[in-house]
Amino acid sequence: MRIDGIELRLVRLRLREPFRISSGVTRDRRILLLRIRTDDGAGLAECVAGETPHYSCETLHTARWALTEHLAPAVLGGSFDGPAAVAAALDAAAKGHPMAKAAIEMAAWDAAARARGVPLAALLGGDKTAVPAGVSIGLQPSDEALLETVDAFVAQGYRRVKLKIQPGRDVDMVRTVRRHFPELPLTVDANAAYGAESLDHLAGLDGLGLLLIEQPFPADDLSLHAALQQRIDTPVCLDESITSPARCRDALALQACRMVNIKPGRVGGLTASRDIHDLCADAGVPVWIGGMLESGVGRAHNVALASLPNVKLPGDTSASRRYWDRDIVTPEFTLNDDGTVTVPTAPGIGVDLDEAFLAEIEEDVTRLGP
Ligand code: OSB
Ligand code: MG
C-alpha cells in the first residue's frame, strides 16, 4: 500500500457520566480521529491519547505534534508491504509516542482489510463471532453509589465488572461489593496508585474471589508486581507496564503477572498487540482487551482484536451506550442478550462514521500530504 494522505479530525464527545480513576477524572472526551488515504482505499482509526498525561505521558497535544511533525512525514508517499511494515517505519521515525503511532498503524490495518474485502478480525486471525463484554466502573463517591452502579450494569447483562480502586477505597469497598454480588466475575484496577509499602495491604484482596488485580504499582516496577504475585493466589494483571512485546517478555520472565491487558494504543498498534497476544499464548498466559474510553472507531478495532484465540477473559469492550448518548459510528455497538458484543462482519473495522453527527461535534480538521 502507498500512503497518499492523512487526515486528522478532532471531535468532542461528552461522556454520559464522568469517569474517575485513581489518577484523574474525564468528563468530556476530545478524540483525534485519523483517516489514511492509500492507493488501495481509505482506513480509519482513533488516537486514544487523553487530555492529560495521567495514564501515560502521551496527551492529545503530544500525539498531534508527533503525528504532524514526525510520523505522518515518515510514511506519506511511502509504499509498504502491509501494516507491519508501516509500524516498522513509524518506529524508525521516532522513539515513544505509541498512541500516535498506533493511530496511523491501525488505520493501515483497516485500509488493508477493506481493500481485501475482509473483516479486520479475520485479517488479524480472529476466530470468534462475538466477544463477552465487561464494564469498567470509575471510582464512585460512596459504597451505596457503587453498589447501585454495579447492579445497573449487571442488570444490563455485562459479564464481568471491573472496579477502580485507590488507597482508602480498596479492600473494604471490594469486600462490600463481593458480599452483595457473591458470584459476579469481578476485577479491580488501581492504575498504579500503590507503592511497596502497600504489599501487605493489597494482599488483603486475596480471598475475595477476584479474577485479577490490575496494575497496582507504577508501570516501570515489574519486580514489585512480581513480589505481589508471589504472595497471592489472585492473578496480577499488567496494563500500563506492558508497553511493547519486549517489555511483555520481561514481565513474563520475571513472573510479574499471570494475565495481560492489551490496548493497541499503549503498544503502538495492532501488530505489536498481536505479537503480545502470541507471546502470552506461548507462555500459557491469558489476555484480554482493555479500553481507553474510545468512540466506536477505536471500539471496532478493540472488538476485532478481542476475537483472537488467546483472548480468554471479557474485556473493557462495552457497548457504545455505556459511554455515549450517541456514538460517532453506524452501526453503534450494542450489548447482546447473552452479554456479548458482535464482532463486525463488514470489511475492515466494519463500521462507518456518522458524518452528520461528526459535523456537529468537529473542532478541527488537518490534512497532511498532497
Ligand atoms: O486503566 O483500563 C484503564 C480508562 C481510561 C484510562 C485507563 C483505563 C480506563 C478504563 C476504562 O478502565 C476502559 C474502558 O471502558 O474504555
Ligand atoms: Mg487499567
Q: Is the minimum distance from the CB of 318 to ligand 1 under 6 angstroms?
A: yes
DSSP H or E run through 112: helix 98-116
**Active-site residue identified among 101, 128, 162, 164:** 164
- Cα of first residue to Cα of last residue in the chain, in angstroms, is 16
Q: How do residues 269-323 score in pLDDT, each as one tens digit?
A: 999 999 999 999 999 999 999 999 999 999 999 999 999 999 999 999 999 999 9
Which ligand 1 atom sits closest to the C-alpha of 322?
Answer: 15
Pocket test for ligand 1, best of 136, 217, 261 (most atoms within 8 A of CB): 136
Is the pLDDT reported for residue 97 higher than 90?
A: yes
What is the predicted pLDDT for the residue at 214?
Answer: 98
Look at ligand 1, atom 6, and give the residue with the nearest C-alpha: 292
Q: Is the minimum distance from the CB of 138 to ligand 1 under 6 angstroms?
A: no
pTM: 0.97
What is the rounded average pLDDT for all residues in the chain?
97
DSSP H or E run through 131: strand 130-132
- In whole angstroms, give the CA distance from residue 345 to residue 351: 9
Sign for the pseudo-dihedral over CA of 36, 39, 42, 48: negative
Q: Is the minimum distance from the CB of 239 to ligand 1 under 6 angstroms?
A: yes
Of the candidates 251, 255, 254, which has an alpha carbon nearest to the alpha carbon of residue 240?
251
Pocket test for ligand 1, best of 17, 19, 56, 158 (most atoms within 8 A of CB): 19
What is the predicted pLDDT for the residue at 171?
Answer: 98
In the residue annotation, 95 being an active-site residue is answered as: no
Look at ligand 1, atom 4, and give the residue with the nearest C-alpha: 292
Of the candidates 77, 66, 55, 73, which has an alpha carbon nearest to the alpha carbon of residue 101?
66
Q: What crossing angle do the helices spanning 98-116 and 83-93 adopt, rounded to 10°?
A: 160
24 falls in which pLDDT band (50, 70, 90)? Answer: confident
Q: How do residues 339-361 score in pLDDT, each as one tens digit?
A: 999 999 999 999 999 999 999 99
Which ligand 1 atom sits closest to the C-alpha of 239?
Answer: 1
Is the pLDDT reported for residue 23 higher than 90?
A: no
Look at ligand 1, atom 5, and give the residue with the nearest C-alpha: 292
In the residue annotation, 162 being an active-site residue is answered as: no
- In whole angstroms, give the CA distance from residue 270 to residue 108: 10
Look at ligand 1, atom 13, and give the residue with the nearest C-alpha: 291
Ligand 2 centroid – CA 191 distance (Å): 6
Which protein residues have a CB closer than 5 Å to ligand 2 (ion)? 189, 214, 239
Contacts 24+ apart (CB under 8 A), 254-259: 254/222, 254/223, 254/226, 255/226, 255/229, 255/230, 256/222, 256/223, 256/225, 256/226, 256/229, 257/225, 257/229, 257/285, 258/212, 258/229, 258/285, 259/212, 259/235, 259/285, 259/286, 259/287, 259/288, 259/313
Of the candidates 315, 301, 367, which has an alpha carbon nearest to the alpha carbon of residue 124?
301
Cell readout for 162 is 471491573
What is the predicted pLDDT for the residue at 326?
Answer: 97
